[in-house]
Structure 1
Amino acid sequence: MKSHALPTLDLPGGTAPAKPRIYPLVVFGLTFGLLLSDYMSRQVLNAVFPFLKAEWALSDSQLAALTSVVAAMVGLLTFPLSVLADRWGRVRSLVLMAIIWSLATLLCAIAADYGQLLGARFLVGVGEAAYGSVGIAVVLSVFAPHVRATFGGAFMAGGSFGSTIGVALGGFIAVHFGWRWALAFMAVVGLVLVVLFRLVVTQRRLDRHRFEDDAAVEPGGYRAPLSSLFSNASVLCAYVGSGLQMFVAAVLLAWTPSYLNRYHAMSPDTAGFVSAILVLLIGAGMIVCGAITDRASRRHPERKWTTSIGYGAAAAILLITGFQLPAGVPQLVVIGCGAFFSAGASGPATAMVANLTHASVRATGFGSLTLANSLLGLAAGPFVVGLLADRLGLLGALQLAPLVYLGAIAALLIGKRRYPAALRGLTALDRRPSA
């Protein structure tokens, strides 16, 4: 029988050995920078739609396909590519992913027609599919459990910030230099960052800074079965709770511009500016709520669940109230406050998944979390609200959307109750002999 080191579980009173702080922060900065590049490359096309429509006489459905093909590839490939990354190597996988999406964005810039552009966008989706799940596994491996909600939330907020930067900067470059230069610029940013990442981040350096509960898996060493990612009731609740709380955040991202245009009589550019502020509030909430959770749960890990429930309840109350108020500045302030908490459980959820999955399949666990966020939240939210809007009007649909938090809260309550048993199950899993 071959023995295995037990993971350092996130238990009350547990302390981690002191480790140098600078390199983990550098790892976070470079990995976060590539995440910004990921979303800048993904969303920049939205800023150049008017130019494409005028130059190639494209229909709205053709334009939508350029965005949907990326989302489709991310949804289809996140889990299998996360599995491959856990086996092939996370650092090598991240480098390859960034090279693919950056070169694909460059191909977008030189596309001669719509077919070539669509094909290049397909490759963008392939490159970006598992970056979020594998990237966060690399980041959290070099940080202690008691700060993982903070850095998990900060990392996931990169999607909001990258989207905002991509649309704003892409639109500026397209107006002054042409839409092709907007895409080329995003490609160059990605390639520069991947070179820096490759020079600084190596598996050997990560191994020197990793924490024991994220131990590197030696070739031929024990690997937990993939079924362990779904047989644990508590981690399943973390997936579901996170996905459902992302439902409303996705609704706000997708439908706020239309809502402001229809019910506040804002012009499209003004509505876009106000919506960008809302996006930044969502991202800021991910970071701040993650930090609050880490402070609250340092000695009582189960409070990760409690704070997540609190964020969901606060967002539900504020958004339900906000969409009932008459149109005006006070209403927007209340909705903005609700947006701040709308994705607040994102950081705690990543910390929960990190604590409840074996190191050998942790990136795949984050892939499962990403899949839940995509299917239950990012994909379902805008689509369901669109269907409801056809029957009830957009305002009526937005008034109902925050009720989804009730499902998220229920899942998190169940997960909290099963959390101690889930940690014991993880310990038992790590004690199993290798084949």
Structure 2
Amino acid sequence: MGAHQFTAHTSGVDTSIGIPRQYAWFIFALTFGLLISDYMSRQVLNAVFPLIKSEWVLSDSQLGLLSGIVALMVGLLTLPLSILADRFGRVRSLTLMAILWSVATLGCALAENYQHMLIARFMVGVGEAAYGSVGIAVVVAVFPREMRATLASAFMAGGIFGSFLGMALGGVMAEHFGWRWAFGGMALFGLVLAFLYPIVVKEKRIISPNLTHSVEKKSVQNHKPLKTIYSSRSVVATYIGSGLQLFVGGSVIVWLPSYLNRYYGMSTDTAGITAAIIVLCSAVGTILCGMLCDRLGRDRPDRKVSLAIGYCLGGCVLLSIAFALSAGPAQLVLIGVGMFIAIGTNGPTSAMVANLTHHSVHSTAFATLTLANNLLGLALGPLVIGKVSDVIGLHNAFQLMPLISIVAAAVLFYAKCHYHRDMERLNGQVVWQPNSEHSVDK
């Protein structure tokens, strides 16, 4: 079979033309910083699980709910809040979100019992609900479309870096100052960035001056933008496959500090730092996997899907072997390598969603992806693993967990079967010829 080539039109309008590259990187840095704050506030809880469990006499199911309630609210609210952000203004919306989750995190520090903590975590979820989708839409808009998988991977790795810092710093602060100070430190960091963001990032400067009214009008008439977020088989399958894969990654991130505390006898700070290092491996992995996706998929868009499938299956094999081993250095290394590959699907699936949906509704499209990632992965995973752990133990629950990646790979294979045709239908400009060296403009 010959090479598969698409013209630039297959990725839609390049919304970055006319935006200074230096300013684009500045926007990325601040938006990335707030995403780190987002996940620091979310994941600091995992580092203090053993302390809260002991102080309030909680079950693993209750601990899982404290973590899962945030992801659940993100999943439920990300779509409607992202639609509002597209209308209300993305910069203003991102600022308000950051203020809300930071104040709610401060509420976690002041919680007097489990019920108070649950309410505060609920509000953290409300504040964080649409940040990922709106933030990545801002980033994608100010950079060239050829960098989508790399930037999406790097941006989403901010969540993993935030998890790393939240668990590592949270564990250290909790061990030396008490778990309440761990939440307080995360809240202060978020409030500082929330103050700086609207001062530096301006709504009018993140819209390309080259997007003329006539281009937008034609684009809207041809594509009916909002419909593109769910109108193709491949984009729906991408949402589902991405969410299922994050069931695995999200569960490991949430429960690994507790696993190290129970099966390795590590103290709270040591378990937090060790888990954070392994999570950092997945952050590096998702960036490198995204870069590989952009490089190999430049002239072959289908390779994005193939790589995503490979990441699912590779992570499944490595994590299955890791949790079949007994506690020790070899197991920790394999968990790190498995997570390096398992989270690599973030870049390819984000790029697929961007390519399969209209640029004017990218916030809503990424919100739909976030919805699937949270409902099927980040919320469902910790809850299910917590309940299974109550029955058969955390080690045995971790042994079953990687099998979900096989289902994710199967769903993404279905997406691959329809990917080219759905891209053609969206753009209405390119005819893909599987046995030809060239694409033909209609």
For normalisation by structure 2, the TM-score amounts to 0.82
User: For residues 116 and 254 of structure 1, what CA distance do their matches in structure 2 show?
Assistant: 21
Gaps of 5+ in 2: 1-6, 430-442
Partner of 1:42: 42
Q: Secondary structure at the match of 1:152?
A: helix
TM-aligned CA distance change 1:108 to 1:261, over 3 Å: closer
1:142: how far off? 1.1
Partner of 2:148: 148
1:350: how far off? 0.8
1:76: how far off? 2.0
User: For residues 328 and 58 of structure 1, what CA distance do their matches in structure 2 show?
Assistant: 31
Cα-to-partner distance string for 1:339-358 (whole Å, 9 max, x where unaligned): 11011010111111111111
Cα-to-partner distance string for 1:289-311 (whole Å, 9 max, x where unaligned): 11111111122222111211221
- Are the equivalent residues in 2 in contact too, given 1:244–1:404 (CA < 8 A)? yes
Cα-to-partner distance string for 1:142-172 (whole Å, 9 max, x where unaligned): 1222211111111111122112212332344
TM-aligned CA distance change 1:173 to 1:328, over 3 Å: closer
- Are the equivalent residues in 1 in contact too, given 2:226–2:361 (CA < 8 A)? yes
- Are the equivalent residues in 2 in contact too, given 1:249–1:339 (CA < 8 A)? yes
- Are the equivalent residues in 1 in contact too, given 2:238–2:412 (CA < 8 A)? yes
Q: Which amino acid aligns with 2:163?
A: S
1:249: how far off? 0.9
Partner of 1:432: none
Shifted more, 321-330 versus 83-92: the winner is: 321-330
Matched, 1:233 2:233: yes
1:319: how far off? 2.0
Partner of 1:58: 56
Q: Secondary structure at the match of 1:208?
A: coil
TM-aligned CA distance change 1:174 to 1:277, over 3 Å: closer
Partner of 2:290: 290
Shifted more, 149-158 versus 268-277: the winner is: 268-277
Equivalent residues in 2 for 1:99-248, closer than 5 Å: 99-109=99-109, 118-177=118-177, 179-208=179-208, 224=224, 226-248=226-248
Q: Secondary structure at the match of 2:11?
A: coil
TM-aligned CA distance change 1:210 to 1:140, over 3 Å: farther
Q: Which amino acid aligns with 2:366?
A: F
Q: Secondary structure at the match of 2:208?
A: helix
Gaps of 5+ in 1: 1-5, 430-435
For normalisation by structure 1, the TM-score amounts to 0.83
Q: Which amino acid aligns with 1:205?
A: R
Partner of 1:353: 353
Partner of 2:423: 423
Q: Which amino acid aligns with 2:372?
A: A
Cα-to-partner distance string for 1:172-230 (whole Å, 9 max, x where unaligned): 44555555544343233222212221112112111137889xx8899x99993644322
TM-aligned CA distance change 1:177 to 1:261, over 3 Å: closer
- Are the equivalent residues in 2 in contact too, given 1:141–1:211 (CA < 8 A)? no
TM-aligned CA distance change 1:411 to 1:42, over 3 Å: same
TM-aligned CA distance change 1:28 to 1:53, over 3 Å: same
Cα-to-partner distance string for 1:374-410 (whole Å, 9 max, x where unaligned): 1221223233344545565544433332222222222
User: For residues 22 and 137 of structure 1, what CA distance do their matches in structure 2 show?
Assistant: 18
User: For residues 152 and 353 of structure 2, what CA distance do their matches in structure 1 show?
Assistant: 11
User: For residues 173 and 264 of structure 1, what CA distance do their matches in structure 2 show?
Assistant: 21
Q: Secondary structure at the match of 2:379?
A: helix
- Are the equivalent residues in 2 in contact too, given 1:105–1:186 (CA < 8 A)? yes
Q: Which amino acid aligns with 2:232?
A: N
TM-aligned CA distance change 1:178 to 1:334, over 3 Å: closer
Q: Which amino acid aligns with 2:74?
A: V
TM-aligned CA distance change 1:116 to 1:257, over 3 Å: closer
TM-aligned CA distance change 1:377 to 1:217, over 3 Å: farther
Q: Secondary structure at the match of 1:344?
A: helix
TM-aligned CA distance change 1:247 to 1:65, over 3 Å: closer
TM-aligned CA distance change 1:400 to 1:196, over 3 Å: same
Shifted more, 302-311 versus 114-123: the winner is: 114-123
Partner of 1:3: none
- Are the equivalent residues in 2 in contact too, given 1:282–1:343 (CA < 8 A)? yes
- Are the equivalent residues in 1 in contact too, given 2:242–2:408 (CA < 8 A)? yes
Shifted more, 105-114 versus 234-243: the winner is: 105-114
Partner of 2:11: 10
1:18: how far off? 8.1
User: For residues 210 and 172 of structure 1, what CA distance do their matches in structure 2 show?
Assistant: 49
Shifted more, 172-181 versus 279-288: the winner is: 172-181
- Are the equivalent residues in 2 in contact too, given 1:36–1:162 (CA < 8 A)? yes
1:66: how far off? 4.7
TM-aligned CA distance change 1:196 to 1:370, over 3 Å: same
User: For residues 115 and 387 of structure 1, what CA distance do their matches in structure 2 show?
Assistant: 19
- Are the equivalent residues in 2 in contact too, given 1:10–1:301 (CA < 8 A)? no
User: For residues 210 and 38 of structure 1, what CA distance do their matches in structure 2 show?
Assistant: 32
